[in-house]
Amino acid sequence: MLHADADRALPSSGIALQPELPLCQTDLPLDWYQAEFKPYAEEYLALPDRKPGTVLPWLDGYVQPALDHFGNSLLLLAHYYMGGEIVKLVERYGGGIADSYALALQAVRHPEKKVIVESAVHFMAESIAILANDDQAVWITNPKAGCTMEMLAKDYMVLPVAEQLIERYGDELVCVAYMNTSGRLKALAGRTGGAVCTSSNATQVVDWARRDGKKVLFVPDQHLGRNTAAKLGMADERVVCLPDPQVTRGAFPIDDRVVPGGLAALDASEMILWGSFCGVHTVFTPQHVDWWHAHGWQVHVHPESPREVVERADGSGSTAYLWKLVMEAPRGAKLAIGTEGHFVRNAREQAALRGVEVMHLADVPDPAFGTAGCGCATMSRNDPPHLAGMLDLLRKGTPPAANRVLAGDSVDERSGALDRLDEAERRELVADAKRALEAMIEVVESA
């Protein structure tokens, strides 16, 4: 790993980082690689170590010829949550690192880029594809890199439930789809006159969606939904969370038996939340916040965290908010950050250069807690062999079709099976999903 100093003790607090992140970017077993990627994985695993002096020359052997071949038409992208290794590699080769909103805009902002290669989760690549021009192709280095929050809100789970709600409430119901959804759900938002939102603009977008007393179906994250409802002053009893999708595992009937509080609560609600969540952001507890506060640290968290954590923290906001906060903190500041582990590790490295201490909220150095900050494991399925293989196969003109990302694609994260829409269905989906994305942009820009 490139984080040679990851387990070094902080000078002033004496608090040591966990030497390794649980669920961090580790070498995936070979059976996680598609057949086309196995030769690259075998070479990578045979390298004597993972030090930059070893990995970079190996990677250069594949990346440099691809850069020479595609020139300025190639764009490499990664999300902040990728392990530091991939983030640094993408930066080394002139690529961009961003949050999901900024990633989504990359194709539109760079029409000269025709081959866009993303190391992040699938919905992020699909959002780029939805907004891309016809002559821009989007590729993901590992199509099985899904988002677990999105995996609990697949179209076959949500759409039949949404149909029942539309039947019951008609035009009164409007869907707001968090960026962490497939294009199929973004299209649902567009079809119902709703919008996409991000964690930085969810409050604005939901407030807009409630216009004329409309009822909001918020998908997929129950915690962002609940935090947003609280910010907008909605009473708890006017917010209904649908059943846990880990239990239902598919569509379910909207009736008194299944809906918490029954149909009366649903009819009286202002906001209906899909029950998904992010495992990385739900490890946090109010006790974590209290511990850091008691030791003189400020706490800031991502709003995918539970409401009681967000309300206890000194601030909450998107990935971009947290990054800016760390980068602008004055020397001597001590910040415990509640979000994805690789992001905190990257932020910690940058902050240390400016005399700012950063810790992961769950890394409480007290054995009574027994918790540790974790990384987004599925995002980390994009590793150096996938990046090397993707670029090499693209250069040779033999990229696997499964790595191409088209709007409306649905990938089974376990088997890799791909369900791809036909051209007419895709065009319809793009029109609806674009409408939802454009509604968000309009709401934000007109504020």
Q: Which residues bind ligand SF4 (CB under 6 A)?
A: 81, 121, 147-149, 180, 278, 280, 304, 340, 376, 378-379
Q: Supply 340's token pair.
A: 């994805």
Closest CA to 67 of 115, 24, 110: 115
Instruction: Locate 394 and state its tokens.
Output: 């693209």
User: Please, what is the minimum distance in Å from the beta carbon of residue 416 to ligand SF4?
Assistant: 18
In the bound complex, what is the minimum distance in angstroms from residue 205's beta carbon to ligand SF4? 18
Measured from the CB atom, the residue of 147 and 234 that comes closer to ligand SF4 is 147
* Shorter beta-carbon distance to ligand SF4: residue 147 or 229: 147
CA pair distance 142, 400, nearest whole angstrom: 10
Do the Cβ atoms of 338 and 373 come closer than 8 Å? no
Least Å distance, CB 342 to ligand SF4, is 9
Contact 338, 361 (CB under 8 A): yes
Ordered alpha helix ranges (H), 15-121: 38-46, 52-70, 84-92, 100-104, 106-109
The distance of closest approach from Cβ of residue 81 to ligand SF4 in the complex, given in angstroms and rounded to an integer, is 6
- Cα–Cα distance, 252 to 204 (Å, whole number): 30
DSSP string, 395-420: HHT---GGGEE-TT-EE-TTT--EE-
Which residues, 6+ apart, have CB-to-CB distance to 310 below 8 Å?
A: 227, 301, 303, 316
Q: Least distance (Å) from ligand SF4 to the CB of residue 428?
A: 27
Smallest gap from Cβ 155 to ligand SF4, in A, equals 17
The number of CA neighbours under 13 Å toward the Cβ of 313 is 25
Please, which residue, 104 or 173, has the CB nearer to ligand SF4?
104
- Nearer Cβ to ligand SF4 (40/284): 284
Matching residue, tokens 């990633």: 103
Decide: 298 and 311 in contact? Cβ < 8 Å. no
CB of 310 to ligand SF4, least distance (A): 15
Give min distance, CB of 227 to ligand SF4, in A: 14
Name the strands in the sheet holding 239-241, side by side, starting at the edge strand that comes first in the sequence: 195-197, 173-178, 215-219, 271-273, 239-241
The nearer residue to ligand SF4, 20 or 60, going by C-beta atoms, is 20
Pairing state of beta strands 137-140 and 404-405?
antiparallel
Residue 270 or 340: the one with the smaller Cβ distance to ligand SF4 is 340
Which of 55/197 has CB closer to ligand SF4? 197
For ligand SF4, the closer CB: 180 or 403: 180
Instruction: Supply the minimum distance, in Å, between the C-beta of residue 82 and ligand SF4.
Output: 10
Tell me whether residue 97 or residue 165 sits nearer to ligand SF4 (CB atom).
Answer: 97
DSSP letter for each residue of 99-113: -HHHHHTHHHH-TT-
Least Å from the CB of residue 39 to ligand SF4 = 28
Beta carbons of 318 and 302 less than 8 angstroms apart: yes
CA distance 355 to 330: 8
How wide is the angle at C-alpha 99 spanned by C-alphas 9 and 412, nearest 5°? 100
Q: How far apart are CA 269 and CA 238, in angstroms?
A: 4
Residue 329 or 377: the one with the smaller Cβ distance to ligand SF4 is: 377
CB nearer to ligand SF4: pick between 120 and 356: 120
DSSP H helices, 93-201, are 100-104, 106-109, 122-131, 148-151, 155-169, 183-191
CB of 341 to ligand SF4, least distance (A): 9
